[in-house]
């Protein structure tokens, strides 16, 4: 069986990656989402094992020492990492696997798996991004300020990505990603 593709989706916080990804996963049954481990506390409605595997700092540190992560990074004071086995198993089973990770993680993945498909999601404007970030009222103003600063740095990274998708409309953006993935599949055969 053909090994699955590795697809990396990155972009500033609150740009709408989760919503696009949900739509994309509905559209494309061959895609699997790689659930990351994080030390961030769950937001209301988030489910352990589905959105993230929520771990303590000690557990995360142990996973780092055991070499369990394909990549890991600190983001706004919390640790996030992709579990290498999950990715490898899905790909071996022929599934194309999607990682939704920050730019530091994307860079680490590119070093290890240069033939991955790297997609960066941008907002229609920085003002629109700020509006979306402010709507996330689950966080303290301080945490939001930290995310805004990171977002500006992240936007500068977009040029390292193979594909840039503007999230002006969720359905349109998901459709564009679907086409990017279909093209990568065709190139693979
Ligand atoms: P959030 O806390 O908003 O869910 O995620 C914050 C940032 O961490 C987002 O940019 C998200 O894509 C990124 N992120 C989520 N999981 C991982 C991961 O496993 N590795 C890395 N490097 N970043 C991640």
Instruction: Check residue 188 and give its pLDDT.
Output: 84
Give the H or E element holding residue 9. Answer: strand 6-10
Which tens digits make up the pLDDT trace of 32-75? 999 999 999 999 999 999 999 999 999 999 999 999 999 999 99
- Which residues make Cβ contacts (< 8 Å) with residue 2, sequence separation at least 6? 94, 188, 189
Positive or negative: CA dihedral 156, 61, 69, 93: negative
Give the distance from CA 7 to its chain's centroid.
9
Measured from the CA of 12, which atom of ligand 1 is nearest? 10
Domain boundaries, given as residue ranges, for the chain: 6-188
Q: Say yes or no: CB of residue 104 within 6 Å of ligand 1.
A: yes
Which CATH fold would you assign to the domain 6-188?
Rossmann fold (3.40.50)
Which tens digits make up the pLDDT trace of 115-159? 999 999 999 998 888 888 787 766 677 777 877 788 888 899 898
Spatial separation of the C-alpha atoms in residues 126 and 95, rounded to whole Å: 35
Which tens digits make up the pLDDT trace of 71-98? 999 998 999 999 999 999 999 999 999 9
Q: Say yes or no: CB of residue 71 within 6 Å of ligand 1.
A: yes
Q: Say yes or no: CB of residue 120 within 6 Å of ligand 1.
A: no
Q: Say yes or no: CB of residue 73 within 6 Å of ligand 1.
A: yes
* Residue in 53, 87, 102, 132 to alter for ligand 1 test, most ligand atoms within 8 A of Cβ: 102
Positive or negative: CA dihedral 47, 168, 178, 4: negative
Using the mean position of ligand 1's atoms as its centre, give its distance from the Cα of residue 86 in Å.
16
Nearest Cα to Cα of residue 85 among 102, 100, 70: 70
């Amino acid at each position: 069986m053909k090994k699955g593709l590795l697809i990396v989706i990155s972009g500033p916080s609150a740009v709408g990656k989760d919503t696009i990804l949900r739509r994309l996963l509905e559209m494309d049954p061959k895609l699997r989402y790689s659930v990351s481990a994080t030390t961030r506390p769950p937001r209301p409605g988030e489910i352990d094992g589905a959105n993230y595997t929520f771990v303590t700092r000690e557990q995360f540190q142990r996973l780092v020492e055991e070499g369990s992560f394909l990549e890991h990074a600190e983001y706004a004071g919390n640790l996030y990492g992709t579990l290498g086995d999950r990715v490898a198993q899905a790909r071996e089973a022929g599934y194309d696997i999607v990682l939704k990770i920050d730019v530091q993680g994307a860079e680490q993945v590119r070093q290890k798996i240069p033939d991955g498909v790297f997609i960066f999601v941008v907002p229609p404007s920085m003002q629109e991004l700020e509006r979306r970030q402010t709507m996330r009222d689950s966080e303290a103003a301080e945490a939001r300020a930290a995310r805004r600063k990171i977002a500006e740095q992240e936007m500068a990274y977009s040029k390292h990505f193979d594909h840039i998708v503007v999230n002006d409309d969720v359905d349109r953006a998901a459709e564009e990603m679907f086409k990017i993935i279909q093209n990568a599949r065709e190139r693979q055969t």
